[in-house]
Amino acid sequence: MLKFRSSIKPELKRRMLFRGTFIAGAGVLVVTLGGAFLPVETLSTWGLPIFLGGIVLIAAGLLPYRRLCKLEEAPHQITVTEVHTMILSNNGKEVLTVPLSEIRELSYVEKATRYGIRMEVNGLSDPVFLPYFTFRTLQELKQILNS
Please state, in angstroms and rounded to a whole number, the distance separating the CA atoms of residues 93 and 75.
12
pLDDT at 120 over 90: yes
pLDDT at residue 113, rounded to an integer? 84
Q: Tell me the percentage of the chain whose pLDDT exceeds 90.
A: 88
pTM listed for this prediction: 0.82
Q: Would you list the DSSP string of 36-99? A: HHS-HHHHHHHHHHHHHHHHHHHHHHHHHHHHHHHHHHS--EEEE-TTSEEEEEETTEEEEEEE
User: 30 with 22: CB under 8 angstroms?
Assistant: no
Q: Tens of pLDDT along 11-62? A: 999 999 999 999 999 999 999 999 999 999 999 999 999 999 999 999 999 9
77-146: in CATH 2.60.210.10 = no
Q: Tens of pLDDT along 72-84? A: 999 999 999 988 8
Domain boundaries in the chain?
7-73, 77-146
